[in-house]
Structures are given as structure tokens and as C-alpha cells.
Amino acid sequence: MSENALEIRGLQGWRGSAHVLQDLDLDLASGRLGIVGRNGMGKTTLCESITGVLSGRGRVDGSISVFGRQIAQLPAYRRSRLGVAYVPQGRRLFSSLNVEETLRVAERRGPWTQARVFSLFPRLAERKKTKGTSLSGGEQQMLAIGRALLTQPKLLVMDEPSEGLAPIVVEQVVGACQTLADEGMNLLVVEQNLAAATAIADNLVVIANGRVVAKLTSAQLRDDPVLQRRYLGIGVDDAEHLELGSAQSHPR
């Protein structure tokens, strides 16, 4: 049995009656992998299929294994206990909890502690008595990442971590992702910001119409305008999206 951090075979995913993921295969042996593609191609559905969040909104068929353990039929909470954590698009923080309380609710025994999260994101320590939803967008993203880390993950799935953030904050989030990867965290990162995606991950997978259509190095996609137009629809007028920290957001 494979001991890859993540191995997906023949994944089919539905949101309601919409057949979004179609016979998708994906591998992450270890380290970090970026997922890119145009809007509406199935990237968020992929994240929710891996983490179990899609159940209740749709259904999934096919094989999903993490570290050799088949999880496709497990509920989200059991996947979390096996080391799969999710930083969702839009953060989804509890409006009634402050920073400290949000972290405390998520915390399990293990190497990640509140003190370690505050070391990674010092700004959260300064704001620990502030309600999560009253934080700036960048601080909310830091809190969402910290919350996920306190579940003691082995695989961290992140959906659009740079979305809607100011350029300097994007750089901070990218830096945190690089630090996590350097410390041995396995990362699967969906990004619309191409510069952020290429800064976080050395290898990229392009998804279109619910399928993997290309596997590229970050340098290949970053440096080739033809590939950018083919897979992402990026043209001359979209050059700002290639700048690290572009605050542009893309509704799905």
C-alpha cells in the first residue's frame, strides 16, 4: 500500500446534480504541491472531497488515501484525526470567539501549540483577545492557518490562502507556507495568484473541467506566457495577477 502523503485515483465529485470532478488522479508523495486553474474548474470541490467537507453538499466516488490509509468514505472529523487539516476559502471563523478561544477550541495535544502559532504569526499574539471576525483579512487568514495547525496535521489543504489580501500580507502568508514546508509539513495549496502559487510550491497541477490536464514545474508556468494563456486565461492585460501579493480576488 502506498505511503504517499496523498494519492487519489478515479475521483468523481458531485455538487448537487453537477458532476464537477471527473475521473481525477493526483499524487503528492511528500512536500508541497500547488493546484491552479481557471474559475469553476473543480479546485474547491477537490479540496472539500479530500477533507470530507463535501459530504452533505454532494457526493464523492473513487479512491482517496493519505499515508496509505483509505479515507474516501470517512467523515470529516475522522479524516482530521488522521492528520488532514483544511484552511478553507473565506476562512469561516466563529463570530463569537476571539483569537485565543478559536485556537483553544481546535487545539489537540501535539507539537503545535498556541505559543508556536504565535511564534509563526506574532500579530495574532497582539490580537489574541480580539474577535476573529473583527480582524483584518490578513489576520483572519493567519488565524485560520493557526487553527488548522493546532489539529496536529500531517497534510494541510489550503484553498486560496492569498485571496483578497494586500500584497505585503500575501508575502507574509507565502513566507509562513514556505516555513511550514521547510519544517516538514505536507502542503496542498489551491491558488489563483500565480506568483503566490509558484512561490509556495515547486510543482503545479492544472485542473480543467474536473480533470488534471497538466503537471508542470512552477518555473515552466511562471516563465511561459503561452502556457499561462492556455491553462489560466492570463493575457497581457492580466499581468498584474503575476505579481506576488496581487490583491485581486476571483469569485467562483
Beta-sheet strand order (sheet of 58-66) = 18-28, 6-15, 58-66, 69-70
* Residue 122 · residue 151 · CB < 8 Å: no
Question: Within a 10 A sphere around the Cβ of 240, how many other Cβ atoms?
Answer: 9
The pLDDT of residue 8: 98
Beta-sheet strand order (sheet of 211-217) = 84-87, 155-159, 186-190, 32-36, 203-208, 211-217
pLDDT tens, position by position, for the chain (252 residues)? 458 999 999 999 999 899 999 999 999 999 999 999 998 899 999 999 999 999 878 899 999 999 999 999 999 999 999 999 999 988 889 889 999 999 999 999 999 999 999 999 999 999 999 999 999 999 999 999 999 999 999 999 999 999 889 999 999 999 999 999 999 999 999 998 999 999 999 999 999 999 999 999 999 999 999 999 999 987 544 444 444 433 333 333
For residue 28, give Cα distances in angstroms to 90, 102, 162: 25, 30, 22
Q: Which amino acid is at 90?
A: G
Label the pairing between strands 32-36 and 186-190.
Answer: parallel
The pLDDT of residue 245: 38
Residue from 222, 217, 145 nearest 176 by CA? 145
Residues contacting 104, CB < 8 A, separation 6+: 114
The pLDDT of residue 252: 38
Describe the crossing of helices 167-182 and 137-149 by its angle, rounded to 10 degrees.
10
Structural domains of the chain ordered from first start: 1-82+201-241 (3.40.50.300)
Query: What DSSP state is assigned to residue 134?
Result: G
* Residue 3 · residue 186 · CB < 8 Å: no
Instruction: Quote the strand ranges of 111-231, DSSP E.
Output: 155-159, 186-190, 203-208, 211-217
Question: Within a 10 A sphere around the Cβ of 43, how many other Cβ atoms?
Answer: 25
The pLDDT of residue 240: 43
Q: Which amino acid is at 4?
A: N
